[in-house]
Amino acid sequence: MSKTTDQTRQSFLQRISNLTRSATSLRARIRRGIGRSTPQVEVQTREETPVAVTRKSSAPDGQCIYAIGDVHGRRDLLEKLIDQIDEDSASLPEGTRRSLVFLGDYIDRGLQSKDVIEFLLSERLQSFERVFLMGNHEEALLRFMNEVSFGKQWVRYGGAETLYSYGLQPPQNSRAAMQSHEAMEAYQRAWDKVWTEFRNRLPEAHLKFYQGLQHYYVAGDYLFVHAGLRPGASLQEQTVRDMLWIREEFLEDADQFPQIVVHGHTPTDGVFRDNRRIGLDTGAFISGKLSAVRLFKDEVSFLST
């Protein structure tokens, strides 16, 4: 590797490091109210108060479901969690269906984004029934596949790490350089090149995976979705945007849905459970804590790295 290439790589790694460090300020940002009205910005780390759970709910007979929160490019944590699930499920009664439900946001934020998809597609999970839901970050990748101009937004909330995991570097954007027409044209050409290369490099199996993701899944007394549901609307009336992006309207409402909603999307310091929802996003890419809920009969328990 040449000195110039090595310097370029180190410069980009520093940018990634800066992005990761900036994520640790999410809690302070939400306390100041930043980002509440802009869905393109990943925002909140909520502090939840434990609630007494009185509502009874059950998984389907003969099925044990492990629902896994937002992975965000942390294959290392995912492998550890699957090892825990393997060990836990070994004690289930013979003949029990073992199911994994992934709540979306497999990519972005973490530098192992491509590796996460490789793991999900590998034989490692073949002994489980598998349900893969779409997150807003997978939606962003698919949008970038069709719109080169969307890349500038995508990299602001995690797309840079995903591009790097596929061997690509987002163009540098210096405000000073953008003062000239020539610099702006060069910047756009650089994005055109990255967009073309990404479309060429993305494995066909990965593209099919992203395109085949479900928006929700219902099993027994539980409904699994990435972000949540809009209160007051039936399942048929829910929009994809709500299921991938909704936050406060869902999180702060008091009315129960027909099923317990199991979701990710909004990071919390620990898993959250009350009479209407179970939240599993524990900010793995920042905290190192990837979490899952185990649903078997009327039992509810949690696992985490």
**pLDDT score, position 142:** 98
Q: Is residue 107 part of a domain?
A: yes
Q: Is residue 10 part of a domain?
A: no
Q: What does the alpha-carbon distance between residue 271 and residue 50 come to, in Å, rounded to a whole number? A: 10
What's the total number of domains in the chain? 1
Long-range contacts of 141-146, Cβ-Cβ distance < 8 Å, separation of 24 or more: 141/107, 141/108, 141/210, 142/210, 142/211, 144/195, 144/198, 145/198, 145/199, 145/202, 145/207
Q: Is residue 213 part of a domain?
A: yes
Q: What does the alpha-carbon distance between residue 9 and residue 106 come to, in Å, rounded to a whole number? A: 24
Q: Is residue 20 part of a domain?
A: no
**pLDDT score, position 177:** 55
Question: For residue 214, what are the domain limits?
Answer: 63-140+207-304
**pLDDT score, position 52:** 82
Q: Is residue 189 part of a domain?
A: no
Q: Is residue 7 part of a domain?
A: no
**pLDDT score, position 45:** 56
DSSP string, 207-221: HHHHHT-BSEEEETT
Q: What does the alpha-carbon distance between residue 68 and residue 103 come to, in Å, rounded to a whole number? A: 6
Q: Is residue 290 part of a domain?
A: yes
Long-range contacts of 164-172, Cβ-Cβ distance < 8 Å, separation of 24 or more: 164/12, 164/16, 164/111, 165/73, 165/107, 165/111, 165/112, 165/113, 165/114, 165/115, 166/113, 166/114, 166/198, 166/201, 166/202, 167/201, 168/194, 168/197, 168/198, 168/201, 169/8, 169/12, 169/194, 170/194
Tokens of 5: 């290439």
**pLDDT score, position 185:** 87
**pLDDT score, position 141:** 98
Residue found by looking up tokens 């489980």 in the block:
128
Q: Is residue 277 part of a domain?
A: yes
Instruction: Identify the CATH number of the domain in which residue 81 sits.
Output: 3.60.21.10
The answer to whether 249 touches 259, Cβ cutoff 8 Å, is no
**pLDDT score, position 33:** 33
Tokens of 246: 């909704």
- Number of other residues whose CB lies within 10 A of the CB of residue 101: 24
**pLDDT score, position 7:** 52
Q: Mean pLDDT in each 10-residue stretch from start to end of the chain (305 residues)?
A: 50 46 36 33 53 91 98 98 97 97 98 98 97 98 97 95 97 69 86 97 98 98 98 96 97 95 96 97 96 98 96
